[in-house]
Amino acid sequence: MDSRSRRSTRALMLSALALGAVLPATVSAPVAAAPTGPDVSSWQHTGGRLIDWFAVRRAGHPFAMVKATEGLSYVNPYFVPDSLMMRAAGVARGTYHYARPELPPEPQAVFYAATVLGQNGPLDLPPVLDLEHSGGLSPAALIDWTHRYLNTVRALTGRMPIIYTYPVFWRTAMADTDQFTRYPLWIADYRGNPAPEVPGGWPTWTFWQTTDRGSIPGIAGPTDINVYSGAQGDLGRWANMSGLFGSS
């Protein structure tokens, strides 16, 4: 997700892997020829350059995730132009809020929902909660925070949110809770395995962030790349454009 906020979490991931702390529990899911797409924030706008979403779409990427908000005050300055150009190019749009659990969840959910003006129109994927930091909360408190945020966003947008996280964080900061399995999972796992590790009792993953060093035409510099598993059915239908992308 956001490059600045990922540095510390990635260091923790690598440290845990080096110590053998990760015990892979993979779920088989086909990824060959599955739909792929980037996720972007202000960091993909090097020197203020806009993303060429038509080039992204021509390169075969039918969806993308865009950072919308963080905490209670930050709005991605490129959120509006990215959103407009994605729609014009026919790229299905997911939008995410970067969680700051040291701040109350309900106002963050309202801030996000007001910024994205809902997430239920044509070419809209469900809203995403990017959960990578505990904010100093205990697992029990963070689990409660997450429930409250997701319930509020669901009430405001009318859609079941997606949770973005990574295995080490979920197993430690969230005590590997299985309380969120009804939400689609977007998991970050860069180890190059046939499938990602799926924590928290989820039966499968929906999106898999396979790298943060990908290259996509139309985006300056490296970008995250994600795979859609098909767990929610046809991608076009899920993005409120039935049949747009064909069967997944």
Catalytic residues: 39, 132
Q: Count each helix (H run) and each strand (E run) in the chain, helices first.
A: 7, 9
**102 close to 145: Cβ distance less than 8 angstroms:** no
Q: Is 44 in a helix, a strand, or coil?
A: helix
Which alpha helices (H) appear in the chain, and where do they start and end?
3-18, 53-58, 79-89, 105-116, 139-157, 167-172, 235-238
Residue 133 tokens read as 């930091």
**176 close to 198: Cβ distance less than 8 angstroms:** no
CB neighbours of residue 179 within 10 Å: 14
**33 close to 57: Cβ distance less than 8 angstroms:** no
Q: Say how far apart CA 199 and CA 190 lie, in whole Å.
A: 15
Handedness of CA 156, 97, 139, 175 (dihedral sign): positive
Residue 26 tokens read as 């993979």
